[in-house]
Amino acid sequence: MKRNKQQTDLTDNYRLFIEQLDTASRNLRTRQDSLGRTLQITGMLFKQNELGLKLWEERRTRLEKMISKQNLPSKKADSLRELHEVALRMESMFQLRTERIREKQFMVASSFDEIDKSLVDLDRNKLKLHSSRMLSRDHENLNRVAIDLSGTAPGAAPSPSDPGLREDLNEARRAVVLAEALLELKGK
């Protein structure tokens, strides 16, 4: 039974590749979840800063209208100009914040999309490996049936003139299966 398990492990080289794809997918999904939370936070910050920008723009506009009145006492006009300067600085600060947050959102969204594309590729390649694995197993089963039909028992001792023939043939079959899997992956 133990020998049969070892033989299955040797002929099932797909398992390791599929595990690697699964690990890569898990890692990317974890990273994508984190980026999703970052997108939510930056979205909330953007809305808050955009609202602040609009409020300071409105305040600046109201102050400009008030300053443009010609019959203002000088003290009141000076106070309004000071408030106008504060409104200009605050509007500028909120404008810069909003732009920086928008840039951050764009960068995070780009990374999120890039991960999404990679996950699709990983899933596609995993499906290809599963298909190739099934084809390989079917091929092995057909070989066994052919050997049974030809009267050669599996694991029968090779002819005394070439004692390593069976082992070399099995190794060649494994190499062909690996090469086919690689070609299938590279070709698609």
CATH number of the domain residue 146 falls in? 1.10.287.1490
**Which of 13-22, 48-57, 95-104, 140-149 has the weakest average pLDDT?**
140-149
Name the token pair of 108.
Answer: 């995070």
Encoded amino acid at 142, one letter: L
Mean pLDDT of the chain: 82
pLDDT of residue 14: 82
- The confidence band for 10, taking pLDDT boundaries of 50, 70 and 90, is very low
pLDDT in tens, 19-55: 888 999 999 999 999 999 999 999 999 999 999 999 9
Residue 182 pLDDT greater than 80, yes or no: no
Report how far residue 94's alpha carbon sits from residue 54's, in angstroms, rounded to the nearest whole number: 9
Which residues constitute the domain of residue 118? 2-187
- The confidence band for 108, taking pLDDT boundaries of 50, 70 and 90, is very high
- The residue among 110 and 155 whose pLDDT is bigger is 110
Residue 57 pLDDT greater than 90, yes or no: yes
Total domains, the chain: 1
pLDDT of residue 171: 58
Among 157, 130, 156, 127, which residue's Cα sits nearest to residue 144? Answer: 156
Among 129, 138, 142, 115, which residue's Cα sits nearest to residue 28? Answer: 115
Residue 125 pLDDT greater than 90, yes or no: no
91: left (phi over 0), alpha (psi -120 to 50) or beta: alpha
Taking the mean position of all CA atoms in its chain, how far away is CA 18?
16
pLDDT of residue 183: 61
